[in-house]
Structure 1
Amino acid sequence: MADPAAVQEWWPDSGAGRGWVLATSRREDAQLSGHGRTLIRLGLYTDAESRAYLQRRLTNAGHAHLHDPAQAGEIAGELGHLPLALGHAAAYLINKRRTMGDYLTLLRDTSSRLGDLLPPSGDTEGYGRPVTASLLLSLNAAQESDTSGLTRHLLHLASLMDPLGHPATTWTTTAVLSYLRTARPPQRRWLRRHHPAVTEPEVHSALGTLHIYALITQDTTTAPIRIHALTARAVRETIPSSTLPAMARTAADAILSLWPRHDHEERELAAALRTNAVHLDELTRPALWQPETHPCIYQVSRSLTDAGLYQQAVEYDERIARHSNDIHGPDHPDTLTARNNLAISYSHPGRAQDALNLRERVLADYERILGEDHPDTLTARHNLARARDAAAAVQQPDTATPATAPDHQLPSDTPEQPV
């Protein structure tokens, strides 16, 4: 049921006391609980229920050998413990004779379509429609009831964020409001195509509509916004490839604009922004790397260090350096910046010699590519001097005072001087 008004005549008179009427709907708005009606929310499977379901389905079909307890939990997590999706996934495993490991690989491949991984032929539980169509059943109804023309665009943006939650203020940042202004259908005014400004009340209204149709969840108007992982994936499959890069960079701009000046002052917000930035990059790569690496990529590195997560910072910066080398090439300024950040991260967990060796190579590359007098070269030379001091302090702790490690460097067009 998408529209309560359409079934108004079917509701029994309150107090009649004869019989029951059961209606299913993804909507959660207040009118469904009026006139003596009771709204019963049906939740997802628990982790234990999801695992037990997959084991029972495979065993009953004579394919218990396909079941792997650990991978069953991973599949359940990837599918968000949605009964509908688990039923289709079990049928896929049985019909294709694929191992759970094989299925996980396909499921995590963003180029795979849900319609192939959760096909209608897997509808052994009698749900009656493909999973993708079921998840997006309410989207058209939501669009029809929203006068702002923003619901689809906001849902597209939300689908790129971490399913476990992102700040509600993301969608009223200047970057998002500007994007929505040009993304929604223009209005004809004074014989010209006109894109009126998008207001915060319009965004809140559109988000409220998405919440009513259970396409997103939000406990309060200021609480983080969440979207079911499978709904997000189904939505992403409807995003035109031509609009994805601009959409990804808009989301990254919004994330960066919300980052606190000092992470330790708002630790929970900083952690949420780190998670969302990494998730966004993984889903849309190389959108945040072309034509230049988005500053949001570097901000994650700095934030991990500020949070004292030194080993995570090293692992992150090693990945970023590899990605930059693959996407931009070894001599690109952004790759040099990524390697510089990696050297800084090395200096924190006690790898002073590694940091020194990498800084020497980075400085040599800066001098070769940008010249000896370029600001980034001067910064790299300063960083090397500090790394040498730090290495000397490790070798002679009684006679040397360790230097404070420099802050992470931003892209080459706006280099930040070390502390």
Structure 2
Amino acid sequence: MGAVAVSGHVDHLTITQAVPQGPVQWPLCLGSVPALASAFQQRPEVRAAIDQAVTGHTAVVLTQVLSGGGGVGKTQLAAAYAHQALVDSVDLVLWADASEADQVIARYAIAAHMIDVPNALAGQTGEQDARAFLQWLATTKRSWIVILDDITDPDAMQPWWPPSSAWGCGRVVATTRRQDAVLSGGGRAVVDVDTYSAKEADTYLRARLKSARAEHLLDAQTDALAEALGYLPLALSHAAAYMINEDVPCADYLLRFSSSAARLDDLLPRHADTEGYGRHVAAALLLSLDVAQGCEPVGLAIPALRLAAVLDPAGHPRDLWGGQAVIDYLTAYRAPMSSPDGAAPVSSTQAKAALRLLHRYGLITDDAQAGFRAVKLHALTARAAREHTPSGEQREIVRTAAEALTELWHKGVERAVLQTNVESLNDFAGDTLWEVEGHHLLRWVGRSLSDRGLATAAVPYWQRVSETSEQLLGRTDRKTLLARRELAIAYLGVGRSKDAFAVFQEDYAYDAEALAGTILKTRQVAGSKHALHKSESAADSLKLMEDTLEVRERLLGPTDPATLSCRAKLSISYWNAGKQSQAISMMKLVLKYQNQELGIHNSDSMATALRLNELRREHKRRWWKPRPDPSQP
């Protein structure tokens, strides 16, 4: 075996072979196989899936592509196979960084000279030597395993996959975050690698801290911490190192991590990666984003990920990406390089293509079989994307998400799915959701709690919404009164009648007057973006007065002055909303009760009778049309 010198760019790479130094010493390990991290988890279920895939294919050599998002432990699993091969005295263990095809070619070329491949000749190009090495893999009787770590360009790797072994003595394991269909071709099996299970995460944290003699950092929040980190192996590794370095127990770290002011750069810092487990988490999760931004549809990957990041990591419907709100947003924030004149709007096809692009690069998961939860992303991916979103874009992202969820709500998407997505948006947006007129989503979610029989959860929910509305909009604002109405109804739902009555008593002085003044006629103007919101506001106000009347009637009785006053104002509101027949019927009922309780000669009864006659005359004038006189030309 001779010493090897490599020179030149790979396109013109040449290998200069020195004087042979003797026969190859088998077994041989080429490349830097990563050390297994402290407390490495064997992950028997994943390993079983990988091993089982071998028997499920007719090809003698199986290339297993361990596909998954950044930080799920693919490289560590591949390293485990390499270390086991060394223990088993496999003749050749080759580890290659496959982030660029050029690096793989160079590694193959060097290997060809290191093992004295007959066709690897001094002075020829690196590609020629690499092909000679692949031919040797196909024909040798020696056992071998090739690890291709972190494939980022599957198309460029196509000519450089190791071939099938004629003697069945070779194996290939590859890792990638890509989800391209080409990866499953050529007899290769794709094995999905997900995050740790809850049990694996707990086992890892306990073993890692024990190995560092830091068991005192374990406490009752250990499981909660693992859940907050999304069971991501890389994040757990960084967090454990941070806790050991700073002597911070799980509960304290969880508080820091949950703080909205804390950033991943601080909580999962690069210097905490004491054993080279992987890159800094935020960098690892977003490593592919810049590359994806330059792929078709060009310029949409970054805005699409930023929008997805404010929704529920557990999933949202694919239909969201075909809606007008999302299309308008992507058109506005598409990278200038993709449309210099800014004239070409993004189509719904391109919007959905952007979704698939993020899926291929492992930044999200787009699984049609998951129904309304089709589009998912890891919580740390979402957090990293949010932290890297410019503050100037956040308001428009919140507006877009609110409008997109509104579109889905009217399409009848499953309420539980919409609820979690609204909650995720609200957690990110805070007051901004109210500023962009998206707070109607909060009311819809609250009502859906009651509709789904979750009355106990509805009370604290409406308490929070009422307090926020009062703080931002004022005590007498219509939206605050709407929220307090819902709170009173929630109280009734759990049998707290006194609390419900107290809310209505507090609002009695001004609620009907304030609401009656807000009922305005709404014309549906074709193409008006705000027509729907105006219509909903009028409907909300009517619903508030109807519910207020119902509760007063239940608690005070139908003839109580407060009940009659509310009924009279609801009648006027019906009239202003274009519901003349309902207005007249309501006013007739008011007069009936007043005549019973006060007498027909009472001034209030007489005033109501006069108003009822006015409504009837106006209604007749609007709807009665005289027949045309046939004698007139």
TM bin (shorter chain): 0.7 to 0.9
Conserved 8 A contact 2:234-2:278: no
SS of residue in 2 equivalent to 1:177: helix
Deviation, structure 1 residue 7? 3.3
Q: Which residue of 2 aligns with 1:388?
A: 552
Q: Is it true that 1:77 corresponds to 2:213 in the alignment? A: no
Which structure ranks higher in relative contact order (CA pairs < 8 Å, sequence separation ≥ 6)? 1
Query: For 1:167 and 1:378, how far apart are their aligned partners in 2?
Result: 32
Q: Note closer, same or farther for the CA distance 1:293–1:257 as it changes in structure 2 (3 Å cut).
A: closer
What is the 5 A alignment of 1:7-26?
Answer: 7-15=157-165, 19-26=170-177
Q: Say which structure is richer in strand.
A: 2
Among 209, 214, 232, the alignment partner of 1:63 is 214
Under a length normalisation based on structure 1, what TM-score does the superposition of the two structures give?
0.84
* Structure number, greater radius of gyration: 2
Conserved 8 A contact 2:201-2:226: yes
Q: Which residue of 2 aligns with 1:30?
A: 181
Q: Note closer, same or farther for the CA distance 1:348–1:128 as it changes in structure 2 (3 Å cut).
A: closer
Q: Is it true that 1:145 corresponds to 2:295 in the alignment? A: yes
Deviation, structure 1 residue 45? 0.9
Q: Note closer, same or farther for the CA distance 1:365–1:124 as it changes in structure 2 (3 Å cut).
A: farther
Conserved 8 A contact 1:47-1:81: yes
Q: Which residue of 2 aligns with 1:212?
A: 360
Query: For 1:381 and 1:139, how far apart are their aligned partners in 2?
Result: 51
- Partner AA of 2:295 in structure 1: S
Q: Deviations over 1:155-199 (max 9, x none)?
A: 11111111111111111112111222212135899xx93332322
Query: For 1:332 and 1:374, how far apart are their aligned partners in 2?
Result: 10
Q: Note closer, same or farther for the CA distance 1:213–1:374 as it changes in structure 2 (3 Å cut).
A: closer
Query: For 2:437 and 2:488, how far apart are their aligned partners in 1?
Result: 21
Q: Which residue of 1 aligns with 2:351?
A: 203
SS of residue in 2 equivalent to 1:145: coil
Deviation, structure 1 residue 18? 6.0
- Partner AA of 1:212 in structure 2: R
Q: Which residue of 2 aligns with 1:228?
A: 378
Q: Which residue of 1 aligns with 2:282?
A: 132
Deviation, structure 1 residue 371? 8.3
SS of residue in 1 equivalent to 2:508: helix
Conserved 8 A contact 1:27-1:214: yes
Structure 1 unaligned residues grouped into runs of 5+? 394-413
Under a length normalisation based on structure 2, what TM-score does the superposition of the two structures give?
0.57
SS of residue in 2 equivalent to 1:40: strand
Q: Is it true that 1:347 corresponds to 2:492 in the alignment? A: yes
Query: For 2:417 and 2:235, how far apart are their aligned partners in 1?
Result: 27
- Partner AA of 2:347 in structure 1: T
Query: For 2:515 and 2:190, how far apart are their aligned partners in 1?
Result: 69
Q: Which residue of 1 aligns with 2:449?
A: 304
Q: Note closer, same or farther for the CA distance 1:279–1:379 as it changes in structure 2 (3 Å cut).
A: closer
Moved more, 300-309 or 12-21: 12-21
Deviation, structure 1 residue 329? 3.7
Conserved 8 A contact 2:225-2:251: no
RMSD across aligned C-alpha pairs, in angstroms?
Answer: 2.9
Q: Deviations over 1:320-377 (max 9, x none)?
A: 1122233334344332322222122222222222222201212324368x48755499
Conserved 8 A contact 2:298-2:338: no
Query: For 2:238 and 2:338, how far apart are their aligned partners in 1?
Result: 46
Paired residues in the alignment total 388
- Partner AA of 2:421 in structure 1: N
Q: Note closer, same or farther for the CA distance 1:31–1:107 as it changes in structure 2 (3 Å cut).
A: same
Deviation, structure 1 residue 391? 2.6
Q: Which residue of 2 aligns with 1:404?
A: none
SS of residue in 2 equivalent to 1:165: coil
Conserved 8 A contact 2:202-2:223: yes
Q: Which residue of 2 aligns with 1:335?
A: 480
Conserved 8 A contact 2:356-2:366: no
Deviation, structure 1 residue 272? 0.3
Query: For 2:187 and 2:438, how far apart are their aligned partners in 1?
Result: 56
Conserved 8 A contact 2:154-2:180: no
Q: Is it true that 1:121 corresponds to 2:271 in the alignment? A: yes
- Partner AA of 1:60 in structure 2: S
Among 160, 164, 168, the alignment partner of 2:318 is 168
Deviation, structure 1 residue 89? 0.5
Q: Which residue of 1 aligns with 2:256?
A: 106
- Partner AA of 2:204 in structure 1: Y
Q: Which residue of 1 aligns with 2:11?
A: none
Q: Note closer, same or farther for the CA distance 1:33–1:384 as it changes in structure 2 (3 Å cut).
A: closer
Deviation, structure 1 residue 290? 1.3
Among 88, 108, 131, the alignment partner of 2:238 is 88
Q: Which residue of 1 aligns with 2:196?
A: 45
Query: For 1:188 and 1:321, how far apart are their aligned partners in 2?
Result: 45
- Partner AA of 1:228 in structure 2: H
Query: For 1:378 and 1:210, how far apart are their aligned partners in 2?
Result: 44
